[in-house]
């Protein structure tokens, strides 16, 4: 029994030590790829999906194609139109995230997401204003 308690105690000590590294990385904004204790087989965890957003990739491809086939005299206007499309997409994403957070009763997340949504809406208004001044 004494050996078992010693192993559990040592494991707890190592966990707290490694947790200190993990938290220090989080505080300083350093990306953490893996949080692990020891070198044994993985018992649990999750994979982060860093794949690009297909919708944004599509909007970027569309914008590049439009710029290539557009007369140089109006290319700035076409770029601003692409920016409007991207802002609309981002606004829609935030609206959906807010609905999900509300469904989970996560008012803390709702508040942050609403601030981000307001920022995106403000950016959309600025892009629209720039586009209107470009075409006038």
Tokens of 54: 């297909």
Give tens-digit pLDDT for 117-135.
999 999 889 888 887 887 7
**Based on C-alpha coordinates, what's the Rg of the chain?**
24
Give dist(CA 76, CA 131) in Å, integer.
8
Segment holding 17, helix H or strand E: helix 2-28
Question: pLDDT tier at 28 (50, 70, 90 boundaries)?
Answer: confident
- Of 126, 101, 124, 125, which is closest to residue 112 (Cα–Cα)? 101
State which CATH number among 1.20.1260.10, 3.40.50.300, 3.40.50.800, 1.10.580.10 fits the domain covering 54-135.
1.20.1260.10
* Domains of the chain by residue range: 1-50, 54-135
**Torsional class of 48: left (φ above 0), alpha (ψ -120 to 50), beta (otherwise):** beta
User: What DSSP line would sit under 52-109, residue for residue?
Assistant: PPHHHHHHHHHHHHHHHTS-GGGHHHHHHHHHHHHHHHHHHHHHHHHHHHHHTT-HHH
**CA-CA distance, 126 to 136, in Å (whole number)?**
16
Q: Share the mean pLDDT of the chain.
A: 82
Provide CB contacts within 8 A for 107, sequence distance 6+: 101
pTM of the complete model: 0.58
Which residues lie closer than 8 Å to 110 by C-beta, 6 or more apart?
Answer: 98, 101, 102
pLDDT single digits (tens) 52-71? 778 888 888 888 888 889 88
């Amino acid at each position: 029994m004494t050996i078992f308690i010693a192993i559990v105690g040592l494991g707890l000590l190592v966990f707290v030590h490694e947790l200190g590294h993990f938290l220090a990385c989080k505080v300083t904004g350093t990306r953490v790829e893996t949080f692990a204790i020891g070198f044994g087989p993985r018992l649990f965890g999750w994979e982060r999906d860093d794949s690009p957003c297909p919708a944004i990739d599509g909007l970027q491809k569309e914008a590049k194609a439009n710029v290539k086939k557009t007369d140089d005299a109006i290319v700035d206007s076409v770029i601003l139109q692409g920016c409007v499309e991207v802002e609309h997409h981002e606004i829609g994403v935030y609206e959906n995230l807010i609905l999900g957070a509300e469904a989970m009763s996560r008012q803390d997340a709702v508040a942050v997401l609403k601030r981000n949504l307001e920022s995106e809406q403000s950016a959309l208004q600025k892009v629209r204003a720039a586009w209107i001044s470009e075409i006038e």
